[in-house]
Amino acid sequence: MALPRLSLSAAVLVMCQTAWTQSPTYGLGRSPSSEEIRKWDIAISPTGKELPEGQGTAKEGELLYRSKGCAGCHGATGSGMHAPTLISRKDVKPNPAAFCLAPCVNDANSMSLHSPFATTLWDYINRGMPLGKEGSLTPNEVYALTAFLLYKNDVIKEDEVMDKQSLPKVKMPNRDGFGLPPAWKHGEPRLQGYP
């Protein structure tokens, strides 16, 4: 007899909770507009399809690296400071026996070389740098900084121009260290049968 009452009480509580979570917000907050959502939808895929117009070179990026304060966290040479190493040091040999958390980033193995796609590097700089002023760089500045890091890590030549056509074609040194991402189109479920 007690079990049916307990089940009924639990069912009523669940229904009340469901109704409460679907109740109005009492004027607090609002749904974002389509334009607001578009402004935050800034992720760049490995194919680079979403890259904006713009361009930059390593020489331009070197000037920006100094003027935007990158050296304050990453060091004047791109290594040796408290932030991840961006430019591998030629005088440091990798030590495979040394304990290192993944991704293993140190003075011999830079973050920019660890990335499987050059577009990933562009995307991270665009969304997350400089620290404290995230999102303040123009597309041209991001292309230039990306070109600078790729050049300093011997991935591209100094005079190569990085833009939405050339950047996705850059073959990163650790490209084969990662599996290929599954084919996916924006707005479609990533996994079959998954909501």
Q: Give residue-wise pLDDT tens across range 145-189.
A: 999 999 999 999 999 999 999 999 999 988 887 777 667 776 776
> Which pLDDT does position 80 carry in this prediction?
75
Check if the beta carbon of residue 142 is closer than 8 Å to that of residue 44: no
User: Mean of the pLDDT values across residues 4-30?
Assistant: 67
What is the predicted pLDDT for the residue at 170? 96
Q: What is the mean pLDDT of residues 16-39?
A: 72
Multiple choice CATH, 55-88+97-173, 3.20.20.150, 1.20.210.10, 1.10.760.10, 2.60.40.420? 1.10.760.10
Average pLDDT, rounded, for the chain: 80
Question: What distance in Å separates the CA atoms of residue 42 and residue 50, rounded to the nearest whole number?
Answer: 8
Residue 66, pLDDT score:
94
Sorting pLDDT into bands at 50, 70 and 90, what band is 84? confident
Question: What local confidence, expressed as pLDDT, does residue 11 receive?
Answer: 67
Q: Domain ranges for the chain, please list them.
A: 55-88+97-173
pTM of the model: 0.70
**Across residues 119-132, what is the average pLDDT?**
93
The residue that leads in pLDDT, 194 or 66, is 66
Give the residues across from 162 on adjacent strands: 56
- Residue with more model confidence, 125 or 91: 125
Average pLDDT, stretch 82-89? 79
124 versus 90: the higher-pLDDT residue is: 124
Mean pLDDT of the region 32-44? 82
The 3-class secondary structure across 114-150, one letter per residue, is HCCCHHHHHHHHHHHCCCCCCCCCCHHHHHHHHHHHH
| Region 39-44 average pLDDT | 79
